[in-house]
Amino acid sequence: MSYCIIFPGQGTQFVGMSKGLDLGTGIGQGLLRLMEKGPLDELSRTINAQPAVFAATIALWEKSELPTPDFVMGHSLGEYTALAVAGVLSRQDALDLVNSRAEFMEGALPLGVSGMAAVLGLEADAVRSAISDVEDLWIANINGGKQVVISGMISSIDKAVPLLKDAGARRVVPLKISVASHCPLMTNASKKLAQVLDAKALEKPRIRVVFNATAREAQDPAAMKMLLARQLVDPVLWDESVKYVVSQGITRFVEIGPRSVLAPLVKRIYPEAHVEAITQG
């Protein structure tokens, strides 16, 4: 049966996430201790969470011994796992890029001033309308199933909460992410990442990859580099990405990651989908 593997991103980290996994040689002892013993607050810093989630996810994929999928796609950070599985990047090159990405993102603003929150119960257009007059706040992820993530300054998120609830949101939930991803606050980080990407050799994918920024496939290495840099400032089009893969005849999805967050979204977007998850927790 044709299928698509989906890889989650930052926010799926937890203490104990590395248990029983072969993480390879690229993970330092300090990060490995955080993954094993915490504390969670330190593990959840972007500079630690991103390489931790990538390393655990790629190890879970290798441990799964699943057959080669027809499609791969990842949510935000998970896009790097997808590219490693598709042969675009080696495991070590992907980890190196993840470390650079995390460093640039965490360095974009002082810690504690920006973040992200999930808006539950509203479509993207309603969220966009509700926050239109709030400065330094943007839609970051359109996840489908009436789940939209906003990104920006913490003070702006706080201002938006009553506006979103007045518009009909059931809940507005802060995410375990210490930066404002997928919005213009990451412009400098995106530029720095683009410079690092320019020096990397990307191969054409051996498996079809759907990218967050466009919800479409790409194969040209230069185009893929551009999409990875764009991803930091553009919203993740997850809803549209799932619908695109379904339009290509795929109805089976397997999520691989420390915890399952994408499988329920796929089911809400396409209720007829056959969805599985391989996780640590």
> Model confidence at 25, in pLDDT bands (50, 70, 90)?
confident
- Closest to 154 in 3D by CA, of 170, 132, 177: 177
With tokens 């300054």, the residue in question is 153
182 is catalytic: yes
Report the predicted TM-score, pTM, of the whole model to 2 decimal places: 0.96
As given in the structure block, the two tokens for residue 58 are: 């790629």
As given in the structure block, the two tokens for residue 242 are: 């799932």
**Separation in Å, CA 85 to CA 32, 92, 124, 187, 225:** 22, 12, 31, 28, 16
Q: What is residue 250's predicted lDDT score, i.e. its pLDDT?
A: 98
Q: What is residue 122's predicted lDDT score, i.e. its pLDDT?
A: 97
Residue 60 has pLDDT above 80, yes or no: yes
Q: What is residue 262's predicted lDDT score, i.e. its pLDDT?
A: 97
Tell me whether the CATH fold assigned to 3-109+183-278 matches the one assigned to 114-174: no
Residue 280 has pLDDT above 80, yes or no: yes
76 is catalytic: yes
Catalytic residue among 44, 156, 181, 182: 182
Do residues 273 and 251 lie in contact, with contact meaning Cβ atoms separated by under 8 Å?
yes
CATH 3.90.1560.10 fits 3-109+183-278, yes or no: no
Note if the bond before 271 is cis, omega within 30 degrees.
no
**Domain residue limits, the chain:** 3-109+183-278, 114-174
**Which of these CATH numbers, 3.30.70.250, 1.10.287.110, 3.40.50.1820, 3.30.565.10, describes 114-174?**
3.30.70.250
Write the secondary structure of 121-190 as one string of H (helix), E (strand) and C (coil): CCCHHHHHHHCCCCCCEEEEEEEECCEEEEEEEHHHHHHHHHHHHHCCCCEEEECCCCCCCCCHHHHHHH
Catalytic residue among 76, 114, 178, 190: 76
